[in-house]
Amino acid sequence: MLKKNEIKVGDTYSEKIVEDLKRTQIVQYAGASGDYNPLHSDDKFTKEIAGYPGVFAHGMLSMGMTGKMLTNFVGDGTLKKYGVRFTNQVWPGDSLESTATIIDIKEEDGETLAEIAIETKNQDGVTVITGSATAKVG
Amino acid sequence: MSKIKMPVEKSHIMMFARSIGDANPKYYEEKDENVIAPPTFIQSSAQFDPDYFLRPKIGGDNWFGSGKEATGMKSSGSGSGGGGAAMGLHAEQHYEYHQPLKVGDVITAEVKPGKSWEKESKRAGKLKFSESVTEYRNQDGELIITATSVGVVTEKPVEN
């Protein structure tokens, strides 16, 4: 858990959340989550029917990987909110870095909360996720 | 839509954590105590939805992924079956955590439709957004997570 006297507005935390994303990891996510949309594992369908250059990652895989950066930063069981927009697709071979920035620290109903802005970018600097989170602070 | 009944199991959390590359040792230890699921784990409640449309059904013959042909979907004779099919993508996902989601919980889900709206986009033509709100409760009826999902159907594949 973040400590009130150890954080300030403007603090950032970054993590490389995946390096050279493998198609097999996308398949692992499909199996664990139960989302077997062929767009994520079926190249033939994705090219010939959907009209994309090939399979791409589930948005929820990117959100899940971004979420591990977040829990590594704020601790387990401290999140009150976590939300994202998927701004660009993530492809096999992509390397992603995710950054959390504390944008506010406030008291609410007897709790101290950190408001956090989230951004995940690929190796070309393209933003694939923007989001926000609220975490309890100790 | 409230047919989901999801037992939160340690081995499922382990597999989920592996798939997102989360090395937090708590997800891999044998003991169950104090294991709080990763923040997006509730998405895998899809495993427990008997009608989930993104999973091939046992004995079903209408799965839309490829086999001999590029899609196994029987032609409906019209609409978006050809190249550049209208395709649903995930646009936004938001979670509100009311209580930690823990191993041993048994979760039920209630889905409520939300807003829908349209927007023009340079990269994908007309975008049709629709929102759904899911309330996940534990075995005692306590609200654990509220999830808001926004899906988008694009007129054409997103340009990259």
pLDDT at B78: 39
Tens digit of each residue's pLDDT (9 = 90 or more) over A16-64: 999 999 999 999 999 999 999 999 999 999 999 999 999 999 999 999 9
Whole-number pLDDT of residue B41: 98
**A83 vs B contacts (CB less than 8 Å):** 92-95, 148
The complex's ipTM works out to: 0.97
Six-digit token string for A119 = 């951004």
Q: Are A85 and A73 in contact (CB under 8 A)?
A: no
Residue extents of the structural domains in chain B: 5-53+87-154
**What's the CATH architecture for B5-53+87-154?**
Roll (3.10)
* pLDDT mean over A105-116: 96
State mean pLDDT over A95-103: 98
B14-34 per-position pLDDT tens digit: 999 999 999 999 999 888 778
Interface contact A64-B19, CB threshold 8 A? yes
A83 forms beta bridges with A132, B94
Which long-range contacts does A106-113 make (Cβ < 8 Å, 24+ apart)? A111/A136, A111/A137, A112/A4, A112/A136, A112/A137, A112/A138, A113/A80, A113/A137
3-state secondary structure of A103: strand
Q: How far is CA B17 from CA A51, A82, B96, in A?
A: 31, 17, 20
Average pLDDT over residues B56-73: 88
The CA angle A100-A30-A44, to the nearest 5 degrees, is 115
Residues within 8 A of A (CB atoms), B 103-142 only: none
Out of B40, B54, B94, the one facing A37 most closely (by C-beta) is: B54
Cα angle A44, A88, B113; round to 5? 90
> What pTM, to 2 d.p., does this model score?
0.94
Confidence band for B75, pLDDT divided at 50, 70 and 90: low
CB B139 within 8 A of CB B105: yes
Residues in chain B, overall count: 160
Show Cβ contacts of residue B121 under 8 Å, excluding neighbours closer than 6 positions.
B127, B154
What are the structural domains of chain A?
4-22+57-137 (3.10.129.10)
Sequence-separated (6 or more) residues with CB below 8 Å from residue B69: none
Residue B77 has pLDDT above 70, yes or no: no
Q: What is the pLDDT of residues B124-156, one digit of tens each?
A: 899 999 999 999 999 999 999 999 999 999 888
For residue B143, the Cα-to-chain-centroid distance in whole angstroms is 19
Residue B97 pairs in a beta bridge with B145
Q: How many CB pairs under 8 A join A and B?
A: 151
Asked whether the beta carbons of residue B92 and residue A39 sit closer than 8 angstroms, the reply is: no
Q: What average pLDDT score do residues A105-133 get?
A: 97
- Distance of alpha carbon A134 from alpha carbon A65, whole angstroms: 17
> Which residue of chain B comes nearest to A41, CA vs CA?
B65
Give the DSSP letter of residue B37.
P
Work out the angle at residue B144's Cα, subtended by the Cα atoms of residues B142 and B149, and round it to the nearest 5 degrees.
Answer: 130
